[in-house]
Amino acid sequence: MAEEIDDNEFYRENFSADSDWEVFNAQLGEILQKWDVSADSESRNLKSEEIFSCNWKVEREKLDMLRNGIEVEYHQAILEDEELAREETKEHTCLQRTSCHHDLMSTGNSFGPPITSSQDLHILARIYGLRRFIVLHPVNATLNYMKSTSEFNFFLSAVAVVSAEVQSVVPIFVQIYDPKWNYYTGVALAPALRTNFRLIGLEKAPPECRFLMGLLTLFREKVPTSYSQAAMISVCTTYALDTMRIRMPMYVPFDHGLSSEDIVVDGEVSHLEVQQFYALPHGYTPESRTEIYLVYTWPELSEHVAFDSEQRSDFVPSKAPLGKVYLSVEASSYLSCCLRDYQSVAEVTRSLESFVGRNFSGTSSGAGAASNPLDRITEHKLSKRRERSFELPSQAGLTKQLPGPMTESELSELLAYLFPDMHPEMALFPYAKKSFTDKFDPMRIKSAVPDSLVCRLSCLLATCHAHLGSVEGMAQVWAAFTRQLRLLWDNSLTVPGISAGFPDTRTCLLHQKLQMLNVCVERRVQREANSKRKSEGLVGKASAEEEQLEEEDEDDDEGEFFDCDDLTAGAGSPTKAVLSLKPEGRLRRLNDERLLEEPDEYLYIPETQEPVPKTEDQLQDDAEVMLKLGPGSGLTTQMMCTSLLSDMEAFKAANPRGTMEDFIRWYSPKDWEEVTDELGQVKQQLSIRMTTEGNTWQKVWEQAQAVPVSRQKRLFDDTNEALKVLHYMETRKMHEIYNLTIIPLLHSAILKLAHILSNAKLDDLFSSQIEKLLSDLCRLSRSHSDELPPIKPLLDDLAELERRFYQFKCFERLSGYPKKSSLQQVKLQFEEILRNDNCCTIVNRRLTAAGDGTLYDILIPKLEADMAERLISKDYIIRLDGDTKSTEKGLYLGPQFMRAIVTGEKLRLCGAFTESTAFV
């Protein structure tokens, strides 16, 4: 006997709760209302190929359904706003016609480019030419795609119900099966009309369905008999020519073995012409190629005009009214690869010593390096001062004992490129003096003079990182470079390849540091020369006095005191002011100006210390210190007025009876103003900012004593500053070296590419792209953020320009240059390729007769030889719109659309069939 069942505990289900289908409908309805899909503002007809060239806006929302959720995407073309033409407004007065119907009947957007364009255009926009549509698909579509009929019906029924509720005029699609197959089913509603979108695919289609006649029969079976007019046909055939390869072998500077690695690759060799040397690689990888497609189009025909079957076809290239050639390029440049690889150094935080060892800089290098350290203790303190040698210093030990992948001879070759004056026997690329006097605008790019030491070093580091030892080779080169700098400083030689003058804060920091080192060397040489002349003068004066004393035979034991010379004063010892009124340190008169309180005495310009140079990081450190101390701090005033105090002391020494007014007349003439008093008399006086109580200038003037420049402490210690620069260069980590060199590297790479284009006589063709790269680099180099902005967009643009250059070389070969066409003709046609996204028109019977174009005459013979084998796809579109009489009566039957894509034996049918819902 069956067990007794308790009805109170069995079959308990709350039928009042919302089902999953109802919940999904409510969520989808809220999203559609937020997107305002009921509005149909874009009612004008689309321009020709506007769908494929305009920008797209995509909005996304996620719904919690079907395991991992459903994503809803709203794709909308951004069209240029235009007023509707009067004829167009009168023609489409029927309220039933929506933008979806306009798009399906638009013949100008039937066929897009056969290759992937620069923008990712959705497959539905390519198939149906829709300007707006919504797509539903699983979040992880590649793993959890819809594959059962129940799931199809669940979402398709929900889409239909929600569309009707919100009165949506935008087609809504549901993605089914594996995403790589691109299968969609959808629906679009309009007043009294419903358009059903269906896609099917056949791996082996019946032979009659691969041609127009069979497709027309299939189309007529799907269309109601109320459509009495003839259907309109659009046909597109695509042919593939042989893939073109042009070998531009890899060239790596300072390495003679890597440039032959791709000799085995087929293709004609075309070496790049580079007259100006850059330490960067060039050439293209062996996989670089250009695929060429010929596309012939019949935009609009009646179904009764054309014939296409297995026996005979009217759709042959010689009868096509419109023909285009498309070039699909896959090219990778060694220059772009080198720059991309160099980006990885930004993540390397290891120090330089971890690669090349400690004490790599050779601070004890030179003549005294091999001496016994104990000898320095017993060495006489008054040893003879080292004389400056104008001969080349010894290079012994400069490249030895530096661990790394490169040998000593290889490293010497690189140093000869950086310092050609130091290696005359190996120097092949001396610095051109005129390059540093050419017009270079530092206000634009914060880099350095092209082909300067900074640019050469930056290019060399990137090349070493990519081809000559990775990060270890790069560290080895930087260590050898810093050794060379220290050798130049020890021998009082300036760094070559650097702009003269003080550190220019408009240039990159590395260039400023080397400029600072050169200033230190120049100050050192000048100081030593002055000391030498002063010492010789004192010795001569002392000998003359001794002779005079011997002649006079004076026995005066009273001691005498002499002023300290430059050597003693320059050592930084404290000095006392000269209390006498004897003027010292006069340079020249200030015109005929006289002292205000002593009209009989002239006003003299004093000898002053030269300005103190500072690099950008030093200025920033000073600003941070003064900001922390505050404006009222005495240390802040001292930092700001050090140079002013020195000039005031020199002025008082040169003009003992001078006043602050006299000083202002020379130092800041703008603060010496002419004023008119109440009696109308003109007199001169200090400006308001100089007479304000507590003025800094007055405080400093009161503190200043009469000390000539020869007795002042040096404001700029060249030895200390030079050692700071050398220490800065030797203690950089690898990512810091990257930050110092990336901007000059990119600048040099752009200039090298511009030089290659100029040698190929293409600078006018790509001038706008080069200018854009330089403008982007300008913004990148002058970023105010502490971290360097991402350079990937700039590298992508640079790689795209190199890809375009390879594309031009292939197109040049395709056009028969120089035998069958001139360079000017090729450039004019390539300009069209640049404008039209890799497309160029070779025949247009609407404008010219077939065969008038040179490119057409060249390509047609190649195609007709084996036309059947080169045919890769045929694309048929059959359209049928409501008849005119029904539209005039206000009854719109709706569009009927079917697209057939034939690829060999495969067939894909994409249909959009409209039915009336007036009596449903």
Please give the backbone phi and psi of residue 535, each rounded to the nearest 5 degrees, phi first: -65, -45
| Residue 371 placed within a domain | no
Q: Does residue 167 come out as left (phi exceeding 0), alpha (psi in the -120 to 50 range) or beta?
A: left
- Taking only the tens place, the pLDDT of each residue in 143-181 is 778 888 888 889 999 999 999 999 899 999 999 998 888
Mean pLDDT score, 613-631: 79
- Taking only the tens place, the pLDDT of each residue in 317-359 is 888 999 999 999 999 999 999 999 999 999 999 999 999 888 7
| Residue 818 placed within a domain | no
114 with 45, same domain: the answer is yes
Mean pLDDT score, 391-408: 68
689 with 734, same domain: the answer is no
What pLDDT, on the 0 to 100 scale, is given for residue 380? 41
- Between helix 453-467 and helix 470-490 the angle, nearest 10°, is 150
Tally of domains in the chain: 3
What pLDDT, on the 0 to 100 scale, is given for residue 235? 96
| Residue 814 placed within a domain | no
Amino acid making up residue 384: K
Please tell me which of 41-45, 251-255, 466-470, 567-571 the model is most confident about, judged by mean pLDDT: 466-470
For 115, the domain range is 20-81+93-229+882-916
What pLDDT, on the 0 to 100 scale, is given for residue 854? 66
104 with 55, same domain: the answer is yes
- Between helix 149-166 and helix 20-35 the angle, nearest 10°, is 50
What pLDDT, on the 0 to 100 scale, is given for residue 375? 47
What pLDDT, on the 0 to 100 scale, is given for residue 906? 94
Q: How far apart are CA 641 and CA 716, in angstroms?
A: 14
What pLDDT, on the 0 to 100 scale, is given for residue 364? 42
Using omega within 30 degrees of 0 as the cis cutoff, is the peptide bond preceding 611 cis? no
| Residue 578 placed within a domain | no
Q: Is 231 exposed, middle or buried (0-12, 13-18, 19+ CB in 10 A)?
A: buried
Mean pLDDT score, 105-123: 80
Mean pLDDT score, 177-195: 90
Closest CA to 111 of 250, 261, 233: 233
Residue 567, pLDDT > 90, answer no
- Between helix 696-703 and helix 642-654 the angle, nearest 10°, is 50
Mean pLDDT score, 21-35: 91
| Residue 272 placed within a domain | no
352 with 472, same domain: the answer is yes
- As a whole-number percent, the residues of the chain with pLDDT over 90 amount to 42
Higher-pLDDT residue of 823 and 15 is 823
Higher-pLDDT residue of 429 and 694 is 429
475 with 418, same domain: the answer is yes
- Taking only the tens place, the pLDDT of each residue in 283-312 is 999 999 999 999 999 999 999 998 999 999
Structure tokens at 381: 């303190």
| Residue 87 placed within a domain | no
Non-local (6+) Cβ contacts of 842 within 8 A are: 294, 323, 324, 325, 853, 855, 856, 859
Among residues 765, 785, 805, the one where a domain terminates is: 785
907 with 886, same domain: the answer is yes
Q: Does residue 469 come out as left (phi exceeding 0), alpha (psi in the -120 to 50 range) or beta?
A: left
738 with 689, same domain: the answer is no
Q: How far apart are CA 917 and CA 166, in angstroms?
A: 17
Place of tokens 């697209």: 899
703 with 728, same domain: the answer is no
What pLDDT, on the 0 to 100 scale, is given for residue 884? 56
Please give the backbone phi and psi of residue 654, each rounded to the nearest 5 degrees, phi first: -80, -25
Q: How far apart are CA 276 and CA 451, in angstroms?
A: 9
Q: Is 266 helix (H, G, I), strand (E, B) or coil?
A: coil
- Taking only the tens place, the pLDDT of each residue in 377-386 is 444 443 333 4
What pLDDT, on the 0 to 100 scale, is given for residue 771? 93
Q: How far is CA 221 from CA 230, 411, 869, 900, in A?
A: 14, 79, 33, 15
What pLDDT, on the 0 to 100 scale, is given for residue 67? 64
- Taking only the tens place, the pLDDT of each residue in 432-460 is 776 555 556 656 889 999 989 999 999 99
What pLDDT, on the 0 to 100 scale, is given for residue 113? 84
Predicted confidence band of residue 43 (pLDDT cuts 50, 70, 90): low
Please tell me which of 60-64, 329-333, 571-575 the model is most confident about, judged by mean pLDDT: 329-333
Amino acid making up residue 284: Y
Beta bridge partners of 135: 73, 173
Closest CA to 873 of 899, 902, 898: 902
The model carries a pTM of 0.80
What pLDDT, on the 0 to 100 scale, is given for residue 257? 59
54 with 178, same domain: the answer is yes
Non-local (6+) Cβ contacts of 67 within 8 A are: 138, 144
| Residue 874 placed within a domain | no
Higher-pLDDT residue of 437 and 572 is 437
Predicted confidence band of residue 366 (pLDDT cuts 50, 70, 90): very low
Closest CA to 70 of 27, 123, 132, 124: 27
Residue 707, pLDDT > 60, answer yes
209 with 342, same domain: the answer is no
When the pLDDT of each residue in the chain is averaged and rounded to a whole number, the result is: 81
CA 276, chain centre distance (Å): 23
What pLDDT, on the 0 to 100 scale, is given for residue 16? 58
Residue 33, pLDDT > 80, answer yes
731 with 681, same domain: the answer is no
Among residues 673, 707, 741, the one where a domain terminates is: 707
Residue 184, pLDDT > 90, answer yes
How many CA atoms are closer than 13 Å to the CA of 15, on its beta-carbon side? Answer: 1
The set of long-range contacts for 390-398, using a CB threshold of 8 Å and a minimum separation of 24, is: 392/422, 392/424, 393/422, 393/487, 393/490, 393/491, 393/493, 395/422, 395/423, 395/487, 397/362, 397/365, 397/369, 398/362, 398/480, 398/483, 398/484, 398/487
304 contacts 256 by C-beta, under 8 angstroms: no
Q: How far is CA 681 from CA 494, 576, 674, 676, 684, in A?
A: 57, 44, 10, 5, 10
Among residues 707, 738, 770, the one where a domain terminates is: 707
141 with 200, same domain: the answer is yes
Predicted confidence band of residue 365 (pLDDT cuts 50, 70, 90): very low
Predicted confidence band of residue 564 (pLDDT cuts 50, 70, 90): very low
